[in-house]
Amino acid sequence: MKLISMKAHELHELIKKKEIKAEEIAKEHIERINEADKKINAFITFKPEEIIENAKKIDKYIADGGEVKNFTGIPIAIKDNICIKDVNTTCASKILADYSSVYDATVINKLNKHNYLLLGKANMDEFAMGSSNENSAFGPVKNPWDLERVPGGSSGGPAASVASFEAVCSLGSDTGGSIRMPASLCGVVGFKPTYGRVSRYGLVAFASSLDQIGPFGRDVTDCINLYDVISGHDEFDSTSLDMKDIKDYGYKHGQDIKGMKVGVPKELMVKEIDSEVKASILDTIKILEKNGADVEETTLPSIEYALSVYYIIAPSEASSNLSRFDGVRYGYRDKDAQGLREMYRKTRAAGFGPEVKRRIMIGTYCLSSGYYDAYYEKAQKIRTLIIDDFKKAFSKYDILVGPTSPTTAFKLGERMDDLLLMYLSDICTIPVNLAGIPAISIPCGLSSGKLPIGFQIMADTLREDNIFKAAHFLESEINWKITPKI
């Protein structure tokens, strides 16, 4: 078996037994990236010499008797909005094209303790704003299943690199579906934890109340293991949950799903849903039913407003979060500008792409005096209703299930002129972020056009254990072995 086709937990066993070296794994992945990434464009920063050098260091560490943890020597791609000291963090934007981070994000600190192998910084939609990875200053990422199609966004690079065997695992960020949606379109597993489970320190903020870092992998086990490494309380993030006072349900592999209560919110089977997607989702639900889960249709009445609420709250927070990119202290600055105002204006006009500018303008408008009450405040109230809907549902069900994306991967450029259609891509994932609950997307089938379909499993706040149980079970039942041709 080629090393690049192996999962992290499989490689880990070999490394632990000293049957392979980190350097061999690294070399094979570098080779793969050199060959495939010309077409995929999943990486913004990729430095083969440094990877080899670091792999050698890890091998020496192991040879010297260092502990081999789950991700020791495992090549991982990191979305380019997560800070790594002395490595560029571009957020796929011209305004940060040459910006080198001055510190490590908390998730990177945690991975460093495992002696993971950084493979590179993965491409994305600029500042994580987008659903197709077409809004990147470094060019779009292509879907490994069909190079004329998008990988989904905004974590297109992290998803496509794992789907195309360039990376074993990756880290992405999910604000409105940015992990689950590309995972669905690329046929990999992508997981968004409960808000506050994973520290946001070092994640360049898009919408602070919604952002959450999470893992991509080619199976559920890799995602769980990676999540275990990156999660936990962090004193540098005030919104990080202190588990001292919270019951941790934990998770044990190999439980069956008999008696599990499963709700299928009818609102997630949106009218825009593709018939093939719908059929595949219903088939997957049948697997649950057949194996003893109690499945019934349910309702989340308020999530009809989720998309509207999201497109007020996320841009509002973003308009403030992105104001620090002004050319004063770091990043791109227009050199010819005369005076302060012009420097701000020209720097930001040239530094940001059109989607980012659009959202900054929407957000600025929503927060303006005279409009705040009508937009931002009202959106917050509806967000509370959405949270209540989920609470009510989870008082009855262990998990809620449905599609991750209403459609399979669409063609590059297809939705760039129809923004409402583009925004609709996230209609099934956005409610989860608004409620702060965890959700996973796992591959559940292929369309007739040989494009992957993703199945979404949601659980109550902090009940990741229920998600993992169902996802693990479905994964073994579906026995997903299909891979993209590239």
Partner 1 sequence: MEDNTENLDNLSNAESAGKADERFETIIGLETHVELSTKTKMFCGCRLSFGEKPNSNTCPVCLGHPGSLPVVNKKAVEYAMKIALALNCRINEYTIFHRKNYFYPDMTKNYQISQFDIPIGVGGFVDVNMGDYVRRVGITRVHMEEDAGKLVHSGTTGRISEADYSIGDFNRAGTPLIEIVTEPEIKSPLEAKQYMITLRNILLYLDVSDCSMEEGSLRCDANISVKLKGSDKLGTRAEIKNLNSFKFIQKALEYEVGRQISLINSGKKVIQQTRHYDDKTQSTKALRSKEEAHDYRYFPDPDLVPININESWIKEVRDSIPELPNQKEQRYNDKFGLSDYDSSLLASDFEISCYFEKALASYDSNAKGICNWLMGDFSAFLNKDQISINESKIKPEHLAGLVKLIDDGKISSKIAKSVFEEMYLKGTDPNEIIKEKGLEQISDEHELESIIKEVINNNPDAVNQYKSGKVKAIGFLVGQVMQKTKGKANPTLVNEIIIKKLS
Q: Among residues 347 and 405, whose Cβ is nearest to partner 1?
A: 347
Residue selected from 105, 434, 435, 437 as contacting partner 1 according to rule CB under 8 A: 105
Q: Among residues 325 and 394, whose Cβ is nearest to partner 1?
A: 325
Residue selected from 22, 42, 91, 424 as contacting partner 1 according to rule CB under 8 A: 91
Active site residue: 101, 178, 425, 441, which one? 178
Residue selected from 82, 230, 430, 458 as contacting partner 1 according to rule CB under 8 A: 82
Q: Is 324 in the site for partner 1 (CB under 8 A)?
A: yes
Q: How many residues bind partner 1 (CB under 8 A)?
A: 45
- Return the closest-CA partner of residue 176 out of 431, 482, 468: 431
- Tell the smallest beta-carbon distance from residue 387 to partner 1 (Å): 15
Q: Is 275 in the site for partner 1 (CB under 8 A)?
A: no
Q: Among residues 63 and 102, whose Cβ is nearest to partner 1?
A: 102
Q: Is 70 in the site for partner 1 (CB under 8 A)?
A: no
Active site residue: 21, 79, 110, 192, which one? 79
Q: Is 364 in the site for partner 1 (CB under 8 A)?
A: yes
Which uninterrupted H or E stretch holds 442? Answer: strand 439-446
Q: Is 457 in the site for partner 1 (CB under 8 A)?
A: no
Residue 128 CA to its chain's centroid (Å): 10
Q: Is 349 in the site for partner 1 (CB under 8 A)?
A: no
Q: Is 340 in the site for partner 1 (CB under 8 A)?
A: yes
Q: Is 323 in the site for partner 1 (CB under 8 A)?
A: yes
Q: Is 244 in the site for partner 1 (CB under 8 A)?
A: no
> Strands (DSSP E) along 86-176, which ranges?
117-122, 169-173
Distance CA 238, CA 233 (A): 9
Q: Is the peptide bond before 154 cis (omega within 30 degrees of 0)?
A: yes
Q: Among residues 79 and 463, whose Cβ is nearest to partner 1?
A: 79
- Tell the smallest beta-carbon distance from residue 374 to partner 1 (Å): 14
Distance CA 283, CA 285 (A): 5
Distance CA 40, CA 33 (A): 9
Q: Among residues 46 and 206, whose Cβ is nearest to partner 1?
A: 206
Is residue 180 a contact partner of residue 172, using CB atoms and an 8 Å limit?
Answer: no
- Identify whether 155 is a catalytic site residue: no
- Return the closest-CA partner of residue 323 out of 95, 86, 130: 95
Is residue 45 a contact partner of residue 120, using CB atoms and an 8 Å limit?
Answer: yes
Exposure of 320 in the CB half-sphere (CA atoms within 13 A): 11
Binders of partner 1 among 184-243, rule CB under 8 A? 200-205, 207-209, 235-239
Which uninterrupted H or E stretch holds 61? Answer: helix 48-63
- Identify whether 290 is a catalytic site residue: no
Please compute Rg for the chain using Cα positions: 21
- Tokens 């937009």 sit on residue: 375
Q: Among residues 377 and 418, whose Cβ is nearest to partner 1?
A: 377
- Dihedral of CA atoms 33, 36, 41, 44 in degrees, nearest 10, equals 10
Q: Is 159 in the site for partner 1 (CB under 8 A)?
A: no
Residue 103 CA to its chain's centroid (Å): 22
Q: Among residues 91 and 288, whose Cβ is nearest to partner 1?
A: 91
Residue selected from 19, 64, 369, 420 as contacting partner 1 according to rule CB under 8 A: 369
Q: Which amino acid is at 447?
A: S
Q: Is 88 in the site for partner 1 (CB under 8 A)?
A: no
Binders of partner 1 among 125-154, rule CB under 8 A? none
- For residue 294, the cross-strand partners are 261
- Tell the smallest beta-carbon distance from residue 475 to partner 1 (Å): 33
Q: Is 479 in the site for partner 1 (CB under 8 A)?
A: no
Distance CA 142, CA 439 (A): 25
Q: Is 376 in the site for partner 1 (CB under 8 A)?
A: yes
- Identify whether 320 is a catalytic site residue: no
SS3 400: strand
Give the strand order in the sheet containing 261-265. 43-45, 117-122, 75-79, 169-173, 213-217, 189-192, 439-446, 452-459, 399-403, 261-265, 294-298
- Tell the smallest beta-carbon distance from residue 82 to partner 1 (Å): 8
Active-site residue set: 79, 154, 178
Binding site for partner 1 (CB under 8 A): 81-83, 89, 91, 96, 99, 101-103, 105, 200-205, 207-209, 235-239, 316-317, 319-320, 323-326, 328-330, 339-340, 344, 364, 367-369, 372, 376
